[in-house]
Amino acid sequence: MSDHDDRSQPMLATTSTPGHRERPAWATLEHNGSLDGLRAIAVGLVVFFHAGVPFLPAGFVGVDVFFVLSGFLITSLIVREVWSTRRLDLVGFWARRARRLLPAALLVLAVTAVAYAAVAPAIDVTTNRTSFPAAALYVSNWVFAEQAVDYFASDTAKSPVLHYWSLSIEEQFYLVWPLLALAIFLLAFRKSRVALAAVAAVTIASFGYAVYLSGIDADVAYFSTFTRAWQLLAGGLVALLVLAPAVSGRALPSWWRPVAAVIAPVAIIAIVFSASSAFPAGALFGQRSTLAASTIATIATAVLVAAVWWLPGLAGTRWLAAAPMQWIGRLSYGIYLWHWPLIIIGGLAGFLSWHWAVNTAIVAITSTVLAAVTYVFVEQPVRRIDLRARKRAVVVLVTLLTAAGIVAAGTWSYLRPPAQITAVVDQLAADKQEEAVGEQTAGAATGAKVLLVGDSHAGFWQPAFAELAQEQGWQLKSVVRASCPWAEVTAVSPRTDAVLPCAEELTEPALDIARTWRPDVTILVSRSIQFQELQLSDARTLVPRDEEWLPEMIQGATTFIDELLPYSAEIVLFEPTPETTKPMVRCVTNPDRTDCDRRAVKKGKTKPILAFFAELQAENPRIVSVSLNDLICPDRRCPATVDGVLTYRDKHHLTTEYAALLIADVDRILRERGVVLAEPATNSDLSARDVPGDRR
């Protein structure tokens, strides 16, 4: 993605100078046109994926290809300098990286900020404001990880500089890796096997952490430098492998050419296959399907780089070095920088409202033209700056880092929200539903016991119930886990096919609390109970449109309630919250809009689930099904604000402030249904529930 043109000024010279021995031939990193062709493939996969090409659902592996290439080239430069001179010019190294990367990246960032502010809703600009200085300072991957950004989500206001996360990882690698590599390559001076073992150990550690973290937090794992380092280091391993024969003076074995002639084309096919819809990642690897596709692409790229480096004229890969492929490869950095802002801003401006094929062509052609202009008028002139003099290298490095700071401060200031937006943003920032995740205890120290269980929709009610409990003098315990229905089912993520830890983090803890604490009332809240994908014991995945889905969800809900009934005097089922077709936040923050209310809609299997709730209520007087629809959205019309309070965070999550505004009425509705949260269970209730048995 970023370091394919360091050949323009090689780090190492092969000529001798007075007082110095002539450096060996292998000390110079020669240009290899096939690697430019590989960059063309990588950027094509990324652009097509982001543009919505349906048969490339894992086109993000193009970034993995870039990581391997960057690791290969950077490690090649470092090891060749260290093993030929016993030193490494760190200032020169970092100056070259800054000269190569920063000018184009900062230009695109500044242009994107201006264009985004012109077309995007004010709330989106404010929401994504932090990502601009983070991108300029190359820490955006950590910002997106902290914000728990879902890279693959389709219903969120994505940052137009989201793609800078990969550049941030590369820059962080360029900052740290030379220091570690210098130590390794000096200690293992020209000892290829020792150096390989050391780099392999770090690579394996990073990969192991990636496997571990992807099963716990897929979004953080996607953005973390520590889980991505192994891909750059895989390129480093290839750099050592291809250099080893030259350093030792050994020729390549005779069998390598026929082997390479086979594995190189296979590697290209594997890269494309891992990006395509034909790759059965979810079926084979379950919860780590994203990592599986990335792993295949990374290994295939490493194999391909080794093959074309040793034998660049192979018949099956010769086309990679063709002039058009090299041309696209040289522009790949600019194409990568421009394509994503074009998609986001073009979509907001209405330029990309066509069929995906037309949109893809527009994005590909426009980003290539912009990349060519940037390459000729920005990248190339800056690269001609001679950095061989140390003072000049220092000046260039300091100047470019200062420019990055200026762009960071400038975009932050330029994207400052208008006054009317600040109140809404502050309200969203003060929203407490994220704090409700997990197990919480609130309210009074004594009094009636209420247990709240559910997904993120239980999360926005939890702070309101906590305040009510404190006010009325009763106890509240809550167990909240996003995307998990309270039914005892195996829920899976629709994005990654990951098995969600709903049993470990929701139903089992809730039942443990019920057994020991004996709540007077248990409130069950879930949106996901009406649409969450499920996995059967035979590993098949069910979606709500499948005939087997509803019986499976109902059976899981029945099982959980049967297990809960012996320990809870009453069970309250909150019916799913009304939803809107579009978020109202954008409208509220638009000064030109006056009526921002939206009509309520129902999602997924709402009607069958409501019928199931009604059946449970009819069969057992200790179960109460409660609808809050008329309270939240009177006459099926959802208000955007009530008494100056924003009602919805998005299309289905209430704000905790609105929930707090409604909680007195919720308490009234519950009392009208015979559920008094502040009253402990009667002796007869306690006796009835002390004997486990069927709810009927």
Could you read off the pLDDT of 268-323 as tens digits, one per residue? Answer: 999 999 999 887 754 444 444 688 899 999 999 999 999 999 888 888 899 999 99
Q: What is the pTM of this model?
A: 0.80
Q: Residue 290: its pLDDT value, please?
A: 83
Q: Are strands 475-480 and 449-454 parallel, antiparallel or unpaired?
A: parallel
Q: How many CB atoms lie within 10 A of CB 522?
A: 26
Domain parsing of the chain, residue ranges: 6-417, 424-689
Rg, the chain, Cα only: 29
Q: Residue 688: its pLDDT value, please?
A: 46
> Domain 424-689 falls in which CATH fold?
Rossmann fold (3.40.50)
Residue 452 pairs with which residues in a beta bridge? 478, 523
Query: Tens of pLDDT along 481-510?
Result: 989 999 999 998 876 667 888 999 999 999
Provide the residue count of the chain: 696
Q: Residue 497: its pLDDT value, please?
A: 66
Residues 6+ apart with CB under 8 A from 426: none
- Which letter, b or e, does each residue of 501-514 get, where b requires 16 or more Cβ atoms within 10 Å of its Cβ? ebbebbbebbbebb
State both tokens at 209.
């952490």
Q: Residue 495: its pLDDT value, please?
A: 65
- String of DSSP letters for 510-523: HHHHHHHH--SEEE
CB of 607 within 8 A of CB of 644? no
Question: E strand or H helix at 165, and its extent?
Answer: helix 164-187
Q: Give the chain's residues under pLDDT 50.
A: 4-5, 7-20, 282-288, 683-684, 687-696
